[in-house]
Amino acid sequence: MGLEEKAKDINKSGEKKSKVIITCRNWQILKLEGVSEDGKVDMALLNVEQARELFSYHVFRDLPEQMHKGFENIFDKIVKACAGLPLSLEVMGGFLHAKTHLKVEDQLVIWEEALQRLNNMEPLYGDKNDKLWKTLQICYDDLAEIERNMFLDVACFFNGFKQKTIIRIWDGSYSHGIGLSNLQDRSLLKVHKNGDIIIHDQLRDMGQKIEIEEQKTRLWDPKKTLHILQDKQVVTMCFCCFDFVRLFFT
């Protein structure tokens, strides 16, 4: 059954006083089928204790839930790097669980390397179809071109900026009203009550990696910016008062 059919079933089942729980990356589909906003629940990220518990469950499973001595520090670093994202904690925990048959010292090396790969947005299994990053990028791939550009802007420059400030910058470039709403409906960013636009750390990292791989014109790394400015290919530079640079090449 497709998502649209499930959405219709939610309304039908409501007449029978039943409860249906459905998870969805795109709220717009459910909204178009008439599902009420009253039934929408935005899932919050896990707090530190919840994240530790979930990660521990996936790492140890049927093994005694007691960490080897010397793992406490790296355990907390991985939990922090996952930033409360259940998918990330599940993938990392499952990967490390498969290594529990190794010697403690060998496991510790793998934990350190896994953390480094997570921070560098590298697949754990050496495969570009790695579950974590593939799942995150599905949301990006489904966007329209304008919305992709808006997402990359936030990932590279505007995380934590006020919504009204970003819209003023976007004005004249994007259909910011609809685009911003679409990004929120797809859970790619959130607008806090105080007006700040926030993007999850791993979605931010994914956006920056996409920007680098697709060789676009957003520059947020001071070292790379200096290198590009010294390149003779640059013909026009557009500076704004928000610490970012847009470059135009021949």
Sign, CA torsion 116/204/130/223: negative
What does pLDDT average to over the chain? 75
Nearest to 94 by CA among 145, 65, 55: 55
Burial class (CB in 10 A: 0-12, 13-18, 19+), 180: buried
221-244 b/e (C-beta count within 10 Å ≥ 16 → b): eeeeeeebeeeeeeeeeeeeeeeb
Distance CA 26, CA 32 (A): 11
Q: What is the pLDDT of residues 194-216, one digit of tens each?
A: 989 988 888 888 888 888 888 76
DSSP labels for 15-75?
A: HTT-------S-HHHHHHTT--GGG--PPPPP-HHHHHHHHHHHHHTTS-S-PPTT-HHHH
Range from 16-20, 26-30, 89-93, 114-118 carrying the lowest mean pLDDT: 16-20
Over range 220-236, report the average pLDDT: 62
Range from 50-59, 139-148, 217-226 carrying the lowest mean pLDDT: 217-226
pTM of structure: 0.61
- Of 8 and 95, which is predicted with more confidence? 95
11 pLDDT band, cuts 50/70/90, is low
Over range 97-125, report the average pLDDT: 85
Q: Is residue 88's pLDDT more than 70? A: yes
Q: What is the pLDDT of residues 68-86, one digit of tens each?
A: 677 889 999 999 988 888 8
**In the prediction, which pLDDT does 164 show?**
85
| Domains observed in the chain | 3-39 (no CATH), 48-120 (no CATH), 144-215 (1.10.10), 217-250 (no CATH)
10 pLDDT band, cuts 50/70/90, is low
Over range 159-170, report the average pLDDT: 86
**In the prediction, which pLDDT does 246 show?**
45
238 pLDDT band, cuts 50/70/90, is very low
**In the prediction, which pLDDT does 49 show?**
92
Over range 38-67, report the average pLDDT: 78
111 pLDDT band, cuts 50/70/90, is very high
Q: Is residue 53's pLDDT more than 70? A: yes
- Return all residues near 193 (Cβ < 8 A) that are at least 6 apart: none
Q: Is residue 89's pLDDT more than 80? A: yes
Q: Which two tokens stand for residue 221?
A: 């790394």
Q: Beta strands 190-191 and 218-219: pairing type?
A: unpaired
Crossing angle of helices 176-185 and 163-170, in 10° steps, is 130
Contact 132, 83 (CB under 8 A): no
Distance CA 58, CA 94 (A): 6
